[in-house]
Amino acid sequence: MQSFKGEFLDFAIRQQVLLFGEFKTKAGRLSPYFFNAGLFNDGLSLKRLGEFYAKAIAASGLAFDGLFGPAYKGIPLAAAVAIALAAEGRNVPFSYNRKEAKDHGEGGTIVGARLAGRILIVDDVISAGTSVRESVELIRAAGATPCGVAIALDRMERGLGELSAVQEVSRDYGIPVIGIVNLDDLATHLSGKPDWQATLAAIQAYRATYGVGEA
């Protein structure tokens, strides 16, 4: 496992973004973990989060020309990633959407840089894939090409069918999904921590019941 993945998981646990216990999902399942990226809610944690996204994106080798953050959670994420990339010497444009179009000023629903070329969508997780679908439509309508999605955590969990939400996005739009980490990375990380073996066993059992393979 790449070192930045373990560093990110330790970071998420310290920030209490990644919690362990018993949590009911939207699907009514009892999950042994809960991930809430909205709790990266101060300057330092958002800065570090952007750096982890940048590392995962670089490791993927994906070529892109700009970033797009879906409203609302994707807006600070895309900005943080753009700043992290700039710190590494790569200055890329970013943009995001409004939920409602403005009828004054610059108007429209897109804010920031003009969408052009290959656009990487940045979001926290993919649940139902709704924000990705809306983003793909906006990017294509602007004449640009959606080329991938970057997320913090891939739960690797089946939706209503046999595929996960991440796999459905890859299938439906023909684009890769880059996760900083996935559920297998979490299991690998916990396997090296003696105090976390009960948690690891619960995650492995959940994965055996609801999990899918990698996209």
Residues serving a catalytic function are 102, 104
Q: What Cα–Cα distance (Å) separates residue 115 from each residue in 66, 125, 139?
A: 7, 22, 7
User: Are residues 68 and 120 in contact, defined by beta-carbon separation less than 8 angstroms?
Assistant: yes
Residues 96 and 74 sit within 8 Å (Cβ to Cβ)? yes
Which has the closest alpha carbon to 71: 101, 95, 96? 96
Calculate the alpha carbon distances from 117 to 44, 55, 66, 175 in Å: 31, 22, 7, 15
What's the CA gap between 72 and 182, in Å, rounded? 23
Q: Any idea which residue has 């209490």 for tokens? A: 16
Contact 70, 99 (CB under 8 A): no
What's the rounded Cα separation, in Å, for the pair 48 and 80?
9
Quick one: which of 178, 161, 172, 173 has its CA closest to 212? 161
